[in-house]
Amino acid sequence: MTHSGHLPGQSNIDVGATGFILNPPSNPEIAMKRLVLVTVLSLIALSSAMAQDATCATKAVGSDGKPLAGAAKTSFLNKCKKDACGPKAVDKNGKALAGAAKASFMKKCEASA
C-alpha cells in the first residue's frame, strides 16, 4: 500500500506498507546523523548484551584467585545463569512464573545468557 500525502512543511512523501517514510533525507548531513545515531544505539545494545555474558565468566574464580576449570567452572556458570535469570521470571503483572511457563522462560533465558 503506497500513497502520497502532504504533511505540514513537507511535500511528496511516499509512505510504504510499513508506514515508514521511504524517501531518503535530501540533506546528506541529516542522513549521516541518522546513520551515526543508529550505529551508536546498536553498539550500546550489543555491549550491554555482551557484558551480561562476561559477568558470569569473570566471576568464575576459585578461592585461591585462579580461574575455575572443568566441572567446577561448568557448575558455577550454570548456577550463575540461573541466579541471573530467576528474578526476571515474572509475568506482565509482576507475578512470579510457575510450572511450564517458568521452565520455558528459564531455558530460553539461560541459553541466551
Q: What is the pLDDT of residues 12-52, one digit of tens each?
A: 555 555 666 556 667 888 888 888 998 998 888 777 666 65
**In terms of pTM, does the model score above 0.85?**
no
Q: Which residue has the cell 545468557?
A: 113
Strands 13-15 and 3-5: antiparallel
Determine the 3-state secondary structure of 21 from DSSP: strand
User: H-helix or E-strand containing 30?
Assistant: helix 28-59
Domain ranges of the chain: 27-112
Q: Rounded to an integer, what distance in angstroms lies between the CA atom of residue 83 and that of residue 36?
A: 36
